[in-house]
């Protein structure tokens, strides 16, 4: 899955909560009662992991928003 290695999706979970998922993953990274909370957590994950794409799905399952998340300020960036 080239190009999707560093991305997260916020989707409606089967129990009605909002899930943060990684493409190809078998389970949610985290569950939240609101979509806003899930978006915040997904953004934190991507920021800490060097940035990436965040896809936000509506209750109908369709992508309603996509955001590029910039990398955070890594106190120990790779040498290079």
Is 17:29 a contact under the CB 8 Å cutoff?
no
Pairing of strands 18-21, 63-69: unpaired
Report how far residue 74's alpha carbon sits from residue 1's, in angstroms, rounded to the nearest whole number: 26
* 11 lies in some domain: yes
* 74 lies in some domain: no
Report how far residue 9's alpha carbon sits from residue 56's, in angstroms, rounded to the nearest whole number: 6
* 78 lies in some domain: no
75 token code pair? 């106190």
* 15 lies in some domain: yes
Q: What is the pLDDT of residue 76?
A: 63
pTM of the model: 0.83
Domain tally, the chain: 1
* 53 lies in some domain: yes
Is 71:51 a contact under the CB 8 Å cutoff?
yes
* 27 lies in some domain: yes
Q: What is the pLDDT of residue 29?
A: 92
| 73 pLDDT tier (thresholds 50, 70, 90) | confident
For residue 40, the surrounding DSSP H or E stretch is helix 35-48
The whole domain housing 56 covers 7-69
* Mean pLDDT in residue range 26-51: 96
């Amino acid at each position: 899955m080239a190009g999707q290695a560093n991305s997260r999706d916020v989707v409606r979970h089967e129990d009605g909560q909002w899930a943060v998922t990684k493409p190809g993953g078998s389970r949610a990274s985290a569950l939240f009662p609101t979509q806003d909370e899930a978006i915040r957590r997904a953004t934190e994950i991507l920021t800490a992991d060097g940035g990436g794409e965040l896809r936000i799905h509506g209750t109908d399952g369709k992508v309603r928003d996509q955001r590029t998340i910039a990398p955070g300020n890594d106190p120990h960036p790779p040498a290079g």
